[in-house]
Structure 1
Amino acid sequence: MGRVIGILLVLAVAVGLALLMRFNDGNVALLWPPYRVDLSMNLVLLALFALFALLHLLLLALSNAVDLPQRVRQYRERRSREAAVAGLRDGLVAYNEGRYGRAERLLQAALKQPDLAGAASLMGARAAHRQREPERVERWLSSAGHEKPTTNAALMCRAEMAVDDQRPADALDAVERLHSRGARHLQAMRLALRAHEQAGNWQAVLHTVRQLEKREALHPSVIRGLKIRALRELVAQRVDDAHALQELLSSMSAAERDIDEVVDAVARALDHSGRGEQAATLLSAILDRRLAERLVPTYASIAALDTRTRLRSIENWRQRHGDRAVFTIAAGRLCAAEGLWGKAEEFLRLAEAQSPNGETRALLARLYEQLGRQPEAFRYWRLAATDGIGDPLVEWPQAPLVAVGDASPPVPPDTPDSA
């Protein structure tokens, strides 16, 4: 359709010119004494038009000749940029295909473009890191660091690679440099957390975890796990320093003091440092309020409290929180430790009925060994062995031996009322 319209326009112009050329009444006289040249008006107009066209073509050719070096330079720059973009694109594809050596070679082409050099250097560093080539990694990162738009990205990349290579000092140095530039974002804090964890800086781990918790940057279950590990490590470092342990306990938030694993570690450390009564108070405060099965054996093992006190507390919690195996096992252990064999057997048999596991059966086997009831001991040892449990029991006093098959061992009359 466009071609038809073009032909019609050409024909219309031709017809117009033909009609115009019919009017040829005017003349143009050129006087150059002693010469005189007479020309028709149409010829003069055609000559002027031709002269104008010729001058236009000459000027256009001159302009193109003058601009030729610049056009050649632009053409080369365009080709170079196209090659750089293609190298960056193909390098990214090769990196994600796992062809890291090829990715490095392709990314070299993008270094010729200043606006692409930083991004290409970052990807090249990652490709070299995948190949475990630290020297090439350093060269790529240095190249990325020299480009202002990618300076922070280069520091982040450096910190991440240092964490992956188990170099926490280098990772923390990169994060510190990043913070000095005013870049304090969540990923940098996550990297710092991993670096502190690798370095064993548990106080810094706890501080960073608390910051990430405020900003909801990690899943609550991850936060809980990290807090448990950090606080348990801090407790282990202070196990022989009761004052430092008390300061650590005071620095914990209410939510942290309510984590069973943390409370268990603190209570054991307090008991080890000679503050068994404080440990018992800490555990009792939790168990009076809610069920915490992990804390029951810890409370039962605190030697600073007499056995009857521990038995009464466990019986109270058993009535409050339900008849659970953890309470009956603890009561059975305490009764056995006191030589209350009848009550110990009663509690342990009840625990075995509630939760038939290897630990309870091993306790019963040891109890029957102490009482000289070898057939029953052998049966429970066999049951415990099938569960793969070999839990060592508390040291019990020697019980008077009875004849094999006697089902009525002597039971001391002074069993606690609460039991």
Structure 2
Amino acid sequence: MKPLQSLVVLLLAVAIGVVAAQWLGTDDLNRYGEVTLRYAGYDYHSNLPKVALLSVIGVLVLWLLWSLIAAPFRAWGRYRRKQGRVRLIDGLLAYEHGQWQRAEKLLDGAAKDPEVSGVALANAVRSAQVRADAPAAEALLQRLGESDATLQALLRAEQLLANDLPVDAINALDVAAIQPLPPRGLWLRTEALARAGRAHEAYGQLGALRQTKVLPAEASSELEARLAAQALLEAGDVNALATQWEATPKALRPTPDVVAAYATRAVALDWDEPALLALEQALDHRWDDELVALYGRLPAERLATRQANLQRWRNVHDDSAALRLAQGRIALAQQQWDAADAFLHEAIAAGAGAPAWEALGEAFAQRGEHVLAAQCLTNALRLQRGEDSVALVRASAAVVDPPLHATVEEQPIAPLPPVYDANEERDAFGNRGLP
């Protein structure tokens, strides 16, 4: 209590005492009641107000005596708490500075204060984990479980996820004693479910996770798109895929990752028509080079319709290298060699990169021109390594690729020099005789 407040309280107590003394000095207090105390053969008579006042004074005196007796102990407790706060602050500062061993020691000492033991032990565990001291971290985790089981489960789940053990992390967070999970626990469980291949369950937690606002709006949207795509890829059959697609919000369906996952899984389940239709609708809604590349790469039918759609899109997106690559692949699937060569060369010129060279190599391989196919695959490897591609050369040294790069012509093979003098004498086995 502040000194000014103590002075005010003391003055009020003195004023009340003076008024009470004046009031108790009157003679008509017996009308409020009389009290008779009989003890050891003696009778003590008084009125009720005096007895009440004496009782209050007695209680105050006892409280004052107890305060005086307990004052040293309270002072010692305040000193210990202050020292614990100092250790906690110094330990956290040492942790931020990267002084792991010192931080662990200080935080372990600060954990003796029950009010901050959870925070201190949690950061001590992190310090031990950074030092790769697994036994010390486990011992600190066990101590943390005695004071804060929820925080222990969060740290254990975090450690298990870092060790790529998502199922064990889920089991650590599903303990009944720590339910309901705090926001960070929900986020860790969602991530663990996704890593464990149970994205549909993780997707069901997004509502509760969004209400906690543990993630920013942008990160929450990215997580939703990632889980939606993964849940579609994990569909076991056509019915499960259709159900998951219907559960996906309409605003999320045109997202490239989501619609690509749906189309890929649908084609894998021999459900080609919905896959192609979803890709076409997504490309009509919002253009994306990765989606059009997937549209040309899927091993589905409707080749003539897909080629017509690609030509229609080319009227609007003529500068897309991925679109030209898709046209080349569709023409290659239709065995239209000349059109495939033209489209693939255009894609290479537009910067389609290694996939275009691979497709061109496939085209040459299907026609039996394995030398050119090998050169195309070599160019694809060069581009993947960050090197420049070279022009294609037939066996007759005729360049078949457009002059996109410097022409590389075949050089005649020079005869090897003789390894010995033809005029020197040798035995029947070709060995030279000793001089």
Structure 1 length-normalised TM: 0.64
Of Structure 1 and Structure 2, which has the larger fraction of its residues in helix?
Answer: 1
Deviation at 1:82, TM superposition (A): 0.7
Within 2, Cα distance between the matches of 1:245 and 1:290? Answer: 23
Quick one: percent identity of the two aligned structures?
20
1:235-246 matches, within 5 Å, as 235-239=232-236, 241-246=237-242
> Residues 267 and 108 from structure 1, CA distance in 2 versus in 1: closer, same or farther, beyond 3 angstroms?
closer
Aligned partner (choices 153, 164, 170) of residue 158 of structure 2: 164
Find the counterpart in structure 1 of residue 89 from structure 2. 92
8 Å Cα contact 2:149-2:178 kept in structure 1 = yes
Equivalent residue, structure 2, for 1:64: none
Q: Is the 8 A contact 1:283 1:299 kept in 2?
A: yes
Cα distance in 2 between the residues matched to 1:195 and 1:379: 45
CA contact 1:88–1:120 (8 Å) conserved in 2:
no
Q: Deviations over 1:94-151 (max 9, x none)?
A: 24313244225522553xxxxxx13134413441454243344223332x3xxxxxxx
What amino acid maps onto 2:173 in structure 1?
L
**Residue 192 of structure 1 corresponds to which residue in structure 2?**
189
Counterpart of 2:158, as a letter, is D
Residues 1:137 and 2:133 aligned together: no
Q: Is the 8 A contact 2:325 2:356 kept in 1?
A: yes
1:1-20 matches, cutoff 5 A: none
| 2:77 is aligned with 1:80 | yes
1:317 and 1:82, CA in 2 relative to 1: closer, same or farther beyond 3 A? same
| SS, match of residue 287 in structure 2 | coil
Distance 1:245 1:90, change over 3 A: same
Give me the whole-angstrom Cα distance separating, in 1, the residues matched to 2:141 and 2:395.
Answer: 78
Q: Is the 8 A contact 1:257 1:263 kept in 2?
A: yes
Counterpart amino acid of residue 154 in structure 2: E
The alignment of Structure 1 onto Structure 2 pairs a total of residues equal to 313
Give the alignment partner of residue 362 of structure 1, picking from 358, 362, 379.
358
Match for 2:309: what amino acid?
S
SS at match of 1:267: helix
User: Partner letter of residue 109 of structure 2?
Assistant: L
Aligned-partner Cα distance in 1 for 2:292–2:363: 21
CA contact (8 A) 1:156 1:175 kept: no
* 4+ aligned runs moved over 6 Å, structure 1: 405-408
Secondary structure of the corresponding residue to residue 215 of structure 2: coil
Counterpart code for 1:256 = L
CA deviation string 1:215-254 (max 9, x = no partner): 6542344334423432333223324x11111111111101
Asked whether the 8 Å contact 1:92–1:123 carries over to 2, the reply is no
Does residue 332 (structure 1) correspond to residue 335 (structure 2)? The answer is: no
Corresponding residue of 1:43: none
Give 2:105's match in structure 1, choosing from 102, 106, 112. 102
Q: Structure 1's 330 and 177: CA in aligned 2 closer, same or farther, altered over 3 A? A: same
Tell me how far apart the structure 2 counterparts of residues 212 and 69 of structure 1 sit (CA, whole Å): 51
Contact 1:88–1:109, Cα closer than 8 Å, also in 2: no
SS in 1 for 2:270: coil
Q: Deviations over 1:2-30 (max 9, x none)?
A: xxxxxxxxxxxxxxxxxxxxxxxxxxxxx
The 3-state SS of whatever aligns with 2:193 is helix
* Distance in structure 2 (CA, Å) of the matches to 1:345 and 1:137: 64
Summarize the Cα distance change of 1:91–1:189 in structure 2 as closer, same or farther, 3 Å threshold. same
User: Which amino acid in structure 2 is aligned with residue 287 of structure 1?
Assistant: L
3-state SS of paired residue (1:80): helix
Q: Cα RMSD between the aligned structures?
A: 3.5
Letter in 2 for 1:173: D
Equivalent in the alignment of 1:385:
381
Q: Call closer, same or farther: CA 1:349–1:192 in 2, change over 3 Å.
A: same
Aligned mates of 2:83, 2:399 — CA distance in 1: 88
2:289 is paired with a residue of what secondary structure?
coil
The residue correspondences of 1:204-353 to structure 2 (distance < 5 A) are 204-213=201-210, 217-239=214-236, 241-353=237-349
Give CA-to-partner distance per residue, 1:230-283, whole Å, 9 cap, x none: 2333223324x1111111111110122121111111112212222211111111
- 8 Å contact 1:141–1:158 — kept in the other structure? yes
Tell me which residue corresponds to 1:52: none
* SS of 2:205 mapped into structure 1: helix
Q: Counterparts in 2 of 1:45-84, with a 5 A limit?
A: 71=68, 73-84=70-81
TM-score by length of 2: 0.62
Q: CA deviation at 1:89?
A: 1.7
Secondary structure of 1:255's counterpart equals coil
**Amino acid in the other structure paired with 2:110:** L
In 2, the alpha carbon distance for the partners of 1:319 and 1:175 equals 60
Instruction: Give the Å deviation of 1:340.
Output: 1.1
Structure 1 alignment gaps of length 5 or more: 1-66, 111-116, 145-153, 391-401, 409-419
Q: Judging changes above 3 Å, is the alpha-carbon distance between structure 1 residues 123 and 175 closer, same or farther for their aligned structure 2 residues?
A: farther
In structure 2, the CA distance between the partners of 1:303 and 1:381, relative to structure 1 (3 Å rule), is: closer
1:174 Cα deviation from its structure 2 partner: 5.3
- Equivalent AA in structure 2 for residue 352 of structure 1: I
**Partners of 1:291 and 1:247 in 2: CA distance:** 26
Q: 1:157 to 1:289 in 2, by over 3 A?
A: same
Alpha carbons 2:158, 2:188 under 8 Å: kept: no
Aligned equivalents of 2:125, 2:299: Cα separation in 1 = 59
1: CA distance, partners of 2:123 / 2:261: 41
Q: Deviations over 1:58-90 (max 9, x none)?
A: xxxxxxxxx888645412330232123213322
1:124 maps onto 2:121 in alignment? yes
The answer to whether the Cα contact below 8 Å between 2:144 and 2:152 also exists between their aligned partners in 1 is no
